[in-house]
Amino acid sequence: MKRIFLSLTLVSSLFSFTGCFGSDTPVETSQLQNFRVYTAPTFSMSVPNQWQTIEPKDFSSEVPQETQIIFRDNVQNDIFTSNANVTKRLLTKQANSLDHGKAMMNENKGSMLNFKEISRDEDFNIAIGGQMQKTLLVLFEGKESEADPTIRIVQTYAVNGTDAYTITAAYLPTSTELDAENAKNIVKSFKVK
């Protein structure tokens, strides 16, 4: 379980090549084959059909309180299992999604060992209450401690009032192209209601 929650602890304490993510718009569920829509009271997103959903009632005490939902690939790996999660923080003052994303990336840089930003898209748009808002979509890698594996993380950010969401998908850098594409599509499909 520890390896699954590696990315959770990064975002709760928490591509220099433009265009690595493709389009700067959210992914529509209708475009994704073999994905299903997960709907929560305040957001929705798409996840691969075969991935498991772990809801708050099933969280262990290791899971940070900010975590809203966890998805995990059903193909288990001894080193690290691909996963995705959504966290929500309450901001003390309003901010826009792009500025919040930049602040979160600074936290990631300071909290990860061997941090390496691979790609950054500051023109990505996320749906918030039916309106599109610019935010940051980033791909980076690093590890939590020397004993942990290096993981690759796709992350974006959405702010609705004082609710700040961080959407994260993590996988091993040695994973298949399909794993990388799934991670990107999960994160890009996130919408705030």
pLDDT in tens, 83-132: 999 999 999 998 999 999 999 999 999 999 999 999 999 999 999 999 99
Residue 124 counted as domain residue: yes
pLDDT for position 18: 31
CATH of the domain at 169: 3.40.1000.10
Note down the domain range covering 58. Answer: 6-192
How crowded is residue 163: how many other Cβ atoms within 10 Å of its Cβ?
15
For residues 53-58, give the mean pLDDT: 95
Residue 114 counted as domain residue: yes
Rounded-to-integer distance, Cα 82 and Cα 28, Å? 22
End-to-end CA distance of the chain: 31
Residue 91 counted as domain residue: yes
pLDDT grade for 77, boundaries at 50, 70 and 90:
confident
% residues pLDDT > 90 (the chain): 79
Residue 58 counted as domain residue: yes
- CB-based contact 11:155 (threshold 8 Å): yes
Residue 1 counted as domain residue: no
CA 152 to chain CA centroid, Å, is 11
Rounded-to-integer distance, Cα 27 and Cα 48, Å? 13
Task: Give per-residue pLDDT as tens, 133-172.
Answer: 999 999 999 999 999 999 999 999 999 999 999 999 999 9
Residue 15 counted as domain residue: yes
CA distances, 78 to each of 2, 75, 148 (Å)? 11, 10, 12
Higher pLDDT, 27 or 134: 134
Look-up of token digits 């498991």: 52
Mean pLDDT taken over the chain: 87
Residue 108 counted as domain residue: yes
The total number of structural domains in the chain stands at 1
Residue 27 counted as domain residue: yes
